[in-house]
Amino acid sequence: MKSLLVRFFLFSLVIAACSIAVTAWLASQATTGAIRQEQGDVLETDAQIFDELVRHAATHEDWTDAKSAVDGIAQKYGRRIALTDGNGTTLVDTGGENAPQLPITPKALVDPLNVNGKIDPRAVGPFKLNDEEYRTLYAYADQLLQCNNRITLVEAPNGRPRLPDLGPGELSIWEDCPVGNRLYTLTVTEKAAYGQLQALFSKCLDQRGWSGRNYGKSLTPTTFDWEITTVDGAPPEVVACMDSSRREQLRPHVAAPAQLFLTSPTGDEPMAIDLSTTGATRITLVALGILALAGFASWLTATQLVRPIRALTAATKRTAEGDRTARVDGGSGEIGELARSFNAMSEKLAETERQRQAMVSDVAHELRTPLGNITGWLEATQDGLAEPDPHLIDMLLEESLLLQRLVDDLHDLAQADAGTLRLHPEPIALDDVVDQVVNAQQNREILLRAETTPVHVTADPVRLRQALGNLVANAVRYTPPGGEVVVKLFRWQDEAVLEVTDTGTGIAPDDVPHVFDRFWRADKSRSRRTGGSGLGLAITRHLVEAHGGTVSVTSTLGEGSTFRISLPA
């Protein structure tokens, strides 16, 4: 599990799996909801169609003239409606000639005398009022409303206006409105119908041996609520008798039972999407497929991501083994950045290596001349070719002092490079330092003077004398006799500035950027005796930078140079 590749791959696989699972779940949830809703809509439509067909059957004696009415219903609900009788003969079919075959099982049985076991209230048959009775009853109803405007009237299925939910006791409301009694008197038609029903009911009771008891008392209706039933608590056989009598009475007045087929206008049933096992299997398969795709994609991405890292690792190994030419092709992004950093580091390493090698050869070169001189003179003395007189000893001493200085300089530089150059800062007056340096470097051939203002800084006086001393020594060295060297000290903004200006040889513009390099000399032929070691300015720069300051130079070839040290005051 340490491999970045594997970790990235597993990580994205887990994320992909989770998101696919959640999406699949949400989608199936939403689809199931939508399907349920749709199925509910279809059921509701079917129920409405059924209800309209029952109404038609309840108010018509047969299906002969039903075609246009059923067509209207079919169009309203966008369904194909077919009705057949018990033998399968088509009574009505709203599907055209080319309509496909009907399904085998009917949707329902349209029978107004048996809607879930009950008689549809709209089947009124002989109870239906004739026009004259209707008008008369409505005239009474108008009078009743004028008498008592708080009541509302509804129409019973047979056309009779009546008060809704009126209990027997409440009949008293028209003690003030006697017209109510007239409204609630049976019409001739109703009387005849009730009589007929009573006869059928009695006959049925007789046949079953229940005659003589007044189970049909509500057949002299006082409540007119259109629930023609037996008395409360009548035995089931009596209730069955009432039902069969009512059906017998109504049968000739309603359309015969018909089988109902409902399909879409094109013939097939609306497709129900299956979300059971097969549905779940399909969703799982699709999800697995997507997961495989996601896995493949993340594997590709992961490999691409890891490739530059592997290249980097290889390059780092080669660098560690000493190969300074290892470079990585980075590309863009964070890894590209890393690759560029690595390349920069590698170049820096190569550069440092080159400098180190150059340094070693420079040091060897610098040591060779004085050592050669010393060895040469000592051998000559040994061979008796030279006398060890005070002059020779002076010369040898001078050479060894040169060596000593060179080694000291190298030591300082090495300390600066290692960051172990120790400073001992203390509050000092810079003008004192300038005076000391100028006095130490006084020279008969050159006019060396100081222009100072009192400036105080915190610095290491010894190191600062060394740094300024190098600049003044150079100025004196590269200024021909009769020239002038001025050392200025002043404050400029937040800085203490030391300027060494000479009227000497100056430095060529191409050489200016190199003067602070180690072992660099404008005149390569100058020996240590005539020039310096080539380390003075390098050391000066290190010392000044160790104090948090900067050193810079401006120079014109043939006119002179100005070296400037700026220290934070």
Can you read off the two tokens belonging to residue 64? 């002969």
C-alpha 499/C-alpha 148 separation (Å) is 123
The nearest distance, CB 550 to ligand ADP, in angstroms, is 17
- The region that residue 271 occupies, defined by phi over 0 for left and psi between -120 and 50 for alpha, beta otherwise, is beta
Quick note: the x/- pattern for ligand ADP over 542-561, rule CB under 6 A, is: -------------------x
The residue from 312, 505, 546, 566 that contacts ligand ADP (CB under 6 A) is 505
Cβ atoms of 469 and 441 within 8 Å: the answer is yes
Cβ atoms of 472 and 478 within 8 Å: the answer is no
Region from 107-115, 253-261, 286-294, 520-528 binding ligand ADP, contact rule CB under 6 A: 520-528
The residue from 58, 204, 478, 483 that contacts ligand ADP (CB under 6 A) is 478
Q: How many residues bind ligand ADP (CB under 6 A)?
A: 23
The nearest distance, CB 451 to ligand ADP, in angstroms, is 18
C-alpha 534/C-alpha 511 separation (Å) is 13
The residue from 202, 452, 533, 566 that contacts ligand ADP (CB under 6 A) is 533
The nearest distance, CB 308 to ligand ADP, in angstroms, is 44
The nearest distance, CB 418 to ligand ADP, in angstroms, is 20
The strands making up 484-492's β-sheet, listed across from edge to edge, are 447-452, 484-492, 495-502, 560-568, 550-556
C-alpha 455/C-alpha 431 separation (Å) is 7
**Cβ closest to ligand ADP, residue 20 vs residue 535:** 535
- State which of positions 418-477 bind ligand ADP (CB under 6 A): 470, 474-475
Least Cα distance to 66 among 78, 79, 53 occurs for 53
Q: What is the DSSP string of 375-444?
A: HHHHHHHHTTSS---HHHHHHHHHHHHHHHHHHHHHHHHHHHHHT------EEEEHHHHHHHHHHHT--S
Least Cα distance to 556 among 484, 520, 506 occurs for 506
Contact between 537 and ligand ADP per CB under 6 A: yes
C-alpha 545/C-alpha 463 separation (Å) is 11
Cβ atoms of 28 and 275 within 8 Å: the answer is yes
Region from 383-391, 430-438, 458-466, 500-508 binding ligand ADP, contact rule CB under 6 A: 500-508
- State which of positions 404-423 bind ligand ADP (CB under 6 A): none
**Cβ closest to ligand ADP, residue 137 vs residue 406:** 406
Region from 73-81, 346-354, 371-379, 527-535 binding ligand ADP, contact rule CB under 6 A: 527-535
**Cβ closest to ligand ADP, residue 308 vs residue 532:** 532
Region from 129-137, 173-181, 303-311, 526-534 binding ligand ADP, contact rule CB under 6 A: 526-534
Cβ atoms of 261 and 82 within 8 Å: the answer is yes
Region from 6-14, 280-288, 441-449, 519-527 binding ligand ADP, contact rule CB under 6 A: 519-527
The nearest distance, CB 403 to ligand ADP, in angstroms, is 14
Residues near 460 by beta carbon (within 8 Å), at least 6 away in sequence: 423, 424, 425, 426, 547
- State which of positions 318-357 bind ligand ADP (CB under 6 A): none
Least Cα distance to 264 among 116, 71, 78, 468 occurs for 78
Region from 251-259, 354-362, 387-395, 530-538 binding ligand ADP, contact rule CB under 6 A: 530-538
Least Cα distance to 275 among 555, 29, 544 occurs for 29
Contact between 507 and ligand ADP per CB under 6 A: yes
**Cβ closest to ligand ADP, residue 49 vs residue 522:** 522
Contact between 503 and ligand ADP per CB under 6 A: no
C-alpha 461/C-alpha 157 separation (Å) is 125
The nearest distance, CB 504 to ligand ADP, in angstroms, is 5
The residue from 163, 532, 542, 547 that contacts ligand ADP (CB under 6 A) is 532
The residue from 295, 520, 554, 569 that contacts ligand ADP (CB under 6 A) is 520
Contact between 515 and ligand ADP per CB under 6 A: yes
**Cβ closest to ligand ADP, residue 327 vs residue 405:** 405
Contact between 534 and ligand ADP per CB under 6 A: yes
C-alpha 440/C-alpha 216 separation (Å) is 149
The residue from 502, 549, 566, 567 that contacts ligand ADP (CB under 6 A) is 502
Q: For the purposes of burial, counting CB atoms within 10 Å of the CB of 425, is it exposed (0-12), middle (13-18) or buried (19 or more)?
A: middle
- The region that residue 364 occupies, defined by phi over 0 for left and psi between -120 and 50 for alpha, beta otherwise, is alpha
**Cβ closest to ligand ADP, residue 243 vs residue 409:** 409
Q: How far is CA 128 from CA 157, 160, 197, 308, in A?
A: 8, 8, 14, 95
Contact between 95 and ligand ADP per CB under 6 A: no
Q: Which residue is nearest to ligand ADP (CB)?
A: 532
The residue from 336, 531, 550, 554 that contacts ligand ADP (CB under 6 A) is 531
Cβ atoms of 144 and 180 within 8 Å: the answer is yes
The nearest distance, CB 409 to ligand ADP, in angstroms, is 9
The nearest distance, CB 505 to ligand ADP, in angstroms, is 5
Q: Tell whether the torsion through CA atoms of 209, 211, 214 and 219 is positive or negative.
A: positive
Q: β-pairing, 447-452 with 484-492?
A: parallel
Contact between 245 and ligand ADP per CB under 6 A: no
Q: How far apart are the first and last CA of the chain?
A: 58
For binding to ligand ADP (CB under 6 A), which residues are involved? 470, 474-475, 478, 502, 504-507, 515, 520-523, 531-538, 561
